Structures are given as structure tokens and as C-alpha cells.
Chains A and B, each alone.
Chain A
Amino acid sequence: MSEATAQHSHDEADSHHVAATNTGIPNKKLAMWAFLASDCMFFGTLISTHLIYRRVNPDVVIDGNVVPVTSIFDIELTSASTFILLMSSLTMALTVSAMHKHNVKAARWFLLSTIFFGSLFIGAQVYEFNHFVHNEAHPLTLTNTIFGSTFYVLTGTHGVHVLIGLIWLTTWYFYSFSPKFNEENVMDIEVTGLYWHFVDIVWILIFPLVYILEYI
């Protein structure tokens, strides 16, 4: 795949309405990347909080007992959600690819699969939270340990990002049937895709740093 091809496809999508920009990058895309750079700091702060508190409080004490975190976690489930989110990233990339080809029908199917995988991920997270909170032996709640606080706030913020992404994608799905849906929206969907992939890479970091680390 050559640079030239790639360049071309983008020009194609933008050339109709968007005025030429100095950088050659469409405004919305540039703004989204700037937002993602900023979002790195958001998650950086949250991840710091979690890691620091994990470091200064090596023992997770629930009801007076030191509880190994591995006995709370359910690594099979979390691995499964990790695969699910990765898959959603693939389908998102394929959605954008189809949009570039102006193949709206295919794009819609890929979009629907992305929404499906995303919902599955959220479902798994809801199940996981529920499971942890109602764990008979040692319930992990938002308030009973500092580990619980940092864990739920970090993964919860990620979950909220996924949820926003889902709403956004669903909106596109329905909008794609509107007569107003046109070639300008190719770029819009690409921008939504960037957001979605970012949510995925944040999970790529959360998975080892929050989950797998506990098993080492």
C-alpha cells in the first residue's frame, strides 16, 4: 500500500465541501487528535491514582481480612471483554474503510457489529461490577477500600467513555438511513472511529496495569 493511494482516498473524501486547510488535515480530525492527546492526561491521572494507591497500600483489607485481589478478579471474564473490545476496534476500522469506499451498506453492517461488541463489553463490565460488589466472601465496593475506589473510578470512567462512544455510533447508524447522510459524513465517521479506537487503547493499558499486574 503506497502513501500515494492513502493520500488520495482522503483528499477524495474531503475535497467537496471542506475548505483546504494549511496542514491538509481536516479540522474535525485535527481537533479529535488534540482531544485524544488531552484524554491521555485524563487517563494518565486516573491510572496514576490507581497505581500509587496500589503501591502505598499493598494489602487490600476488606472487613479486617487481607484479601488477595486475584481472588476478587475474574481474569477469564476480563480477558474475554478484552477480546471483545479488540474485535470492536477491528469492525470500527472496517466501518471507516467501507465508508471510504462509499459502500454505505457494508459500513452499516460493520457499524452494527461495532455497536454489538461495544454493548457486549459494557454488559460484561456491568456484570463484573455487580459480581464484585455482591461477592459473598469479600465484597469489593466503591467505598470499603481505597482499592475499590480507584478501581471503580478508573474502570468506570473508561466505561463511561465506551458508553458515550456507543451512543455516538448508534446515532450514526440511524442517521445513515437519513437522506441527509452524505459524503461529508465520511470524515465524521472516521473521527468517531478515532475516539472509539482510543477507548480501546486505554483498555489495552488498563488490562495489564490493573488486572494482569495483580497476578504477577
Chain B
Amino acid sequence: MANGTTTTIPHDSGHDAEHDKPQRSFFRLVQRPQQGCHPVIDWLTTVDHKKIGIMYGAFALLFLLVGGVEALMIRAQLFLPENDFVTARLYNQLFTMHGTTMIFLAVMPLNAAFFNYMMILQIGARDVAFPRLNAFSLWSFVAGAVLINLSWFWEAFHGGWFGYAPLSTKDYNPGMGADFWILSLQILGVASLAASFNFITTILNMRAPGLKMMRMPVFTWMTLITSFLIILAFPAITIALVELMFDRHFGTHFFDATFGGKPILWQHLFWIFGHPEVYILILPAMGIVSEVLPTFSRKPLFGYPLIVMSGAFIGFLGFAVWSHHMFTVGLGVVATTAFSLMTMLIAIPTGVKIFNWIGTLWGGKIHFTTPMLYSLGFIWMFMMGGFTGIMHSSVPVDHQQQDSYFVVAHFHYVLIGGALFALFSGIYYWMPKMSGKLMNETWGKISFWIMFFGFNLAFFPMHLLGMAGMPRRTHTYLGDMGWNEWNMWSTAGAMILGVGIGSAVVQVVYTWAKGKKCGMDPWDARTLEWATANPPKDYNFARIPEINARDQVWANKYGKPEEKSGPGEPEPHGIHMPDRSWYPMSASFGLFMVGLGMVFHKQNFLGWDHTLEMVYIGGGILLLSIYLWALEGPRGYHVHPEED
């Protein structure tokens, strides 16, 4: 592959001389970092989707461990009845922060890491449509994540990850924990929305020539659908959080029943977001599995159009079932029935996917690599979680299960056995792409089996606990309820699961540093990301490939002659690369300051009580950054890769 020599020449636009001046930021406030700048500056100011993807992944793994430690503390407390390892308040903070961390800071950004890194390569593009906006998404995610974890040093939120009003209003939650939670989620929402507009535009507009929509890899399809879910679901929670914030700080009564407010409205608005959110977590996972299974069965995906369509169908239906989280709040017969039946319908498109995955295995040549093992584990465990979901969709059954440990079992089966297993599958599968190094197979398999065993030991007993009447979110329980043994097993399993996840993360870090180098296409894979160097050059492809078939890389190796294709024309003036920029990060920093200042509104921040000024300064930084960002333009330089 291209051993590219890169020459930097000024952007040649042919139109005006302004472009040829040295690339400096507006007002020359900060030098716009150039190629060959210090690595730290390079990473902070990068607009390269691959570096951004790696940072998303690194932060996500970090927060996976943070959320995991929180989970293990939860389980340690529940090991024995009437245990006092943690206080009630701390326990309540732990499960709130655990849920929030795992969903918003671990699984979503891990998905985003692969969207960023792999989706772009899969469509044969050089970068996203708006590279600086992409960097802004990353840094805003970091800002939100840091903000919510800072809350541990003051007061962490203790209202559950769905923050039901009125418990989350000032009357019942007077501390600043709720404010940390509200503002962090708002900032994380900005990050997710910005990233999603970017991905939608990129996928629709920037595919390689010949890559029709129905030739796109399924992972790219799921990225597209997930991005749509994000832009259509997040507004609901944003507005709900705004209303809650007004209740807490500006004296309104949106959720105060004594003034005619309806706490139930919070639940509706939250779940209008919340249910699509769970598909936001799982669809990318399904996309990963749809890449891994064909590769290691050495067969194309069975029923590709159906898998794609069922993904879209799941996404669409996902907006029509939110009240299945509210079967016990007294909705009335018609609404309850409608939401119950709609929920059941989702089993059909999901089933279609599972059947087609099995169809993919059928008649293949199955290579038992680590990523394959994780994907198979995914199918099996996710299916089980899906089935308990179907139990929940039946109203009378859910009347017993709602808010019990059965629900905790359901969603950990879909979230760990589902999302997390698939994400680890993705990590092991794509690590050679991202680092140019192979993960160790033996250790990978050992980790998988530890995880698989620990996971089932931790969460299977929770089904039984739920049916035996143990409510979730209780920091303690009496010893004579018949729950003791299962809780002990469960805690033991959680610790084993923790070891499994920890060991896998260690392997990731180890591989990154010292892994065994590998060639360009170690898995004999199918899709476009494997048609370039490991890791890819800054510009991804020296020449944008032309696409004549669904699995182009496979077709090039083994396909019919008419399906094969070569790289397209070289760019006449070299490849245009956008410049690095400071402003995405400074804009996110402004956002962070606004958030922090608002959390500390009327409070004292480290001895400083001008927190309102902090909001203004943060807002100023944000605004100024946006202006400077707009004025500096993408700019860029040209690269002339030596042909391969």
C-alpha cells in the first residue's frame, strides 16, 4: 500500500490569493497548528475522524471501568442482607451514576468511536462532512462526562437514571446533584446531536462512487439509523430537562402536582427519548455483529435487505412504544393495550435479524476467532434479553416485574450480553485496523469465557430475585426474604464479570502498546475498511475506490470479474486535508464553563462565589469560538501520496 510521501502545499483554490497566506487563525490569537506540531497539540486540535474515534474509544473504556467500579460497589453492598458497606444515600448515588455512566459515557461513546473510525472507511470517504464539528462533538462529550463525574466531589445525583419528577425537583432533591445531572446530560445531548447531523450528512452525501445505499455495509446502515434516532429522540429529553431546570431554579411548577403540574408528563417525555435510546445502544451493536459474522463464516450476510429494513423498522417502531415503561402508572385501558401490542411487534424485526444471522452461519466455514466468539455470545444472550423484554411487554406479567430485579436482569442481558459483547467483538475485530496490531487470540478467548460465565452468574439469578419479589434500587433487604443465596451468587458473578471486562481492557491497552503487527487484511474480510493500510494514512485512501458490489473487498479477491473494481482516478491537485483547529475544543470548554457555572448557581465554587460570571464567561468563550471557527474556515493543505 501507499508509502505516502506527503508534501504540504497551500490550498489552491484558484480563485483568490487570500488562501495562500500563511494559515493562521483570525486575529492571530493562536497559531493554527500545522503538520508536524507537537503530538499533544496534534491530538487536542485534530479534525481527523480516526484520531477522534480513538479518543472516543479511550474515554469510553475509561468510563466503562468507572461505571463498572460503581456496579461492583452496588453488588458488594447487596452481598449480604442488611449490609452496611455503603450508606443508603451513597447506594442511591451509585446506581444513578452507574446507569447514567454506562449508557451515556460508556456504550454510546464506544458506538461513536466505531462510527467515527469505521463508518468513514466503510463508505470510502476521506473524513466526515464537517470535521471540526466532529471534534466539537468529541470535546463536548468529554466536557459532559467530566462535569457529571465531578459531581462525586460535591454531591452526586440520587434519583435514578431516569430522574423521575417530583423526586428530582427541588422539594425532594434540594442538593446540587440533580443540577449536575441535568446540565451534564444537556451537554452530552449537544455532543450527540452534533455528531449525528454530521454522520447523517456524511453517509448520505460522501459515499465512494458506485456505493449505492443498498451496497452499504450494515454497520454503516445502523450508524445512519442510529443517528436519525438520536436527532429525533434527544429533543424530548432536552426539553424535559429544561422544564425540570426551570422548576428547580426559576420557580415554575411543570412537575408539581399541587400546582396543577403532572409528574407523569416527565415520564412520558423521558421515555419518548428513553426507549429510542435503548435502540440507539443496540442497533450499532447489531451492525457490528452483521460485519463479524459474514467475515468469519466466509459468506455474505444472509438476507441483507431484510436486515437493513428491519433495522429501520425497529428504529421507527421504537418511537411508538415508550409507554411500556409506564404500564403501572395508570394510563387507561386503550393506551395500555396499544402500547403493549406495539411493543410485542418489535419482536418481529428483531427476530428477522436473528434468523438471518443464523442463516449467515448456515453452510459457512466458521472460524472461531475471538470476535466471532463475542458475536455468537451476543446472539445468544441478546436473544434471552429480548425474550424477557417480551415478557415485560405483556401488561399483567409486567405488573409483577416492573421495578423488580427482573427488569434489571432484562436490561443487563440486552446491554451487556447484547451491546457490550458486540462492542468487544468490534474491538477485537477492528483492533488491527486501528492499531495495525492483532489482539492475542488465547487471552481474548479466556477473557470472553470469564465474562460469559461471570455475566450469567451475575444476572441470571436476578430473574429469580425479581419473581421472588425483590424490588430494584433498594440498598438493603431483610434476611428472611429468601433472597440471600441468589444475591451472593450474583455478587460473585459480578466480580468475575468485572475481572473479565478488566482483563479485556488491559489487553486493549497492551495490544496498542506492544501487540503483534499484522498485514492489511488479517481476517480475509469483506468490506471497504480493509482495502487500505493498517492503520490507515491520514487521507484514508490514496485513491477513492470505485464500488461495483456490496462486499467490494471480498469481490475483488474472490468475486466475479464484473464485480471487481480498482481504485478510482487520483486527485488532480493532490488530496485536500482540512487544517487542525483549536476552536472546537475551546467551544466545548465554553459549554463546560456554562454548565459548571449553572450547577453552582448561588453556590460557592472552590471559594469563589461569582458563579454567574462563570456562566457569562463560558457563554462568551462559546460564542467567540463559534465566530472564530466560522471565520477561519476549513482551510487545509494538499497531500500527494506516492502511488501504490
Contact = CB atoms under 8 A, between A and B. Distances in A.
Nearest to B623: A167
| Size bin of chain A's contact surface | 35 or more
Contacts of B13: 17
A45 B15 CA distance: 46
A38 B261 contact: no
A180 B13 CA distance: 13
Interface in B5-59: 13, 15-16, 18
Interface string B243-281: 100100011111000011110010001001000000000
Interface string A152-174: 01000000000000000001000
A146 interface: yes
B328 to A, nearest CB: 20
A153 B197 CA distance: 26
A38 B235 contact: yes
A56 B232 CA distance: 27
A49 B239 contact: yes
Nearest to B13: A17
A27 interface: yes
Interface stretch (A3-11, A28-36, A101-109, A194-202): A28-36
A116 interface: no
A72 B351 CA distance: 56
B231 A143 contact: no
Given A22-B206, A22-B207, A30 B201 contact: yes
Contacts of A53: 260-262
Contacts, number: 104
Contact of B252 (A16, A22, A57, A143): A143
Contacts of B204: 21-23, 25, 30
B231 A37 contact: yes
B200 interface: yes
Given A53-B262, A57-B260, A149-B254, A38 B240 contact: no
Contacts of B16: 180, 182
A27, A37, A45, A182 — most chain B CB neighbours (10 Å) = A45
Contact of A146 (B233, B235, B238, B259): B259
Nearest to A35: B197
A38 B246 contact: no
Contact of A38 (B130, B231, B251, B269): B231
Contacts of A27: 129-130, 201, 205-206
B242 interface: yes
B190 to A, nearest CB: 12
Interface string A163-195: 000000001000000011010000000000000
Interface in B107-153: 129-130
B167 interface: no
A69 interface: no
B250 A38 contact: no
Interface in A50-75: 52-53, 56-57
A39 interface: yes
Nearest to A56: B262
Contacts of B231: 34-35, 37-38, 41
A31 B198 contact: yes
A133 interface: no
B235 A39 contact: yes
B195 to A, nearest CB: 12
A120 interface: no
Contacts of A145: 260
B205 A142 contact: no
A46 interface: yes
A27, A56, A150 — most chain B CB neighbours (10 Å) = A27
A159 to B, nearest CB: 14
Contacts of A171: 627
Contact of A34 (B201, B240, B260): B201
A180 B253 contact: no
A83 interface: no
B265 A49 contact: yes
A127 interface: no
19 contacts: A21-B206, A22-B206, A22-B207, A25-B204, A27-B201, A34-B197, A38-B231, A38-B235, A41-B232, A45-B236, A45-B269, A45-B272, A46-B239, A57-B260, A146-B252, A146-B254, A153-B242, A153-B243, A171-B627
Given A30-B201, A57-B260, 9 more contacts: A22-B205, A23-B205, A27-B129, A31-B130, A45-B236, A49-B239, A56-B262, A153-B242, A179-B18
Interface of B: 13, 15-16, 18, 129-130, 193, 196-198, 200-201, 204-207, 211, 231-236, 238-240, 242-243, 246, 250-254, 259-262, 265, 269, 272, 627
What are the 4 closest A-B residue pairs judged by CB atoms, nearest first?
A41-B235, A21-B205, A143-B251, A38-B231
Interface of A: 16-17, 21-23, 25, 27, 30-31, 34-35, 37-39, 41-42, 44-46, 49, 52-53, 56-57, 142-143, 145-146, 149-150, 153, 171, 179-180, 182
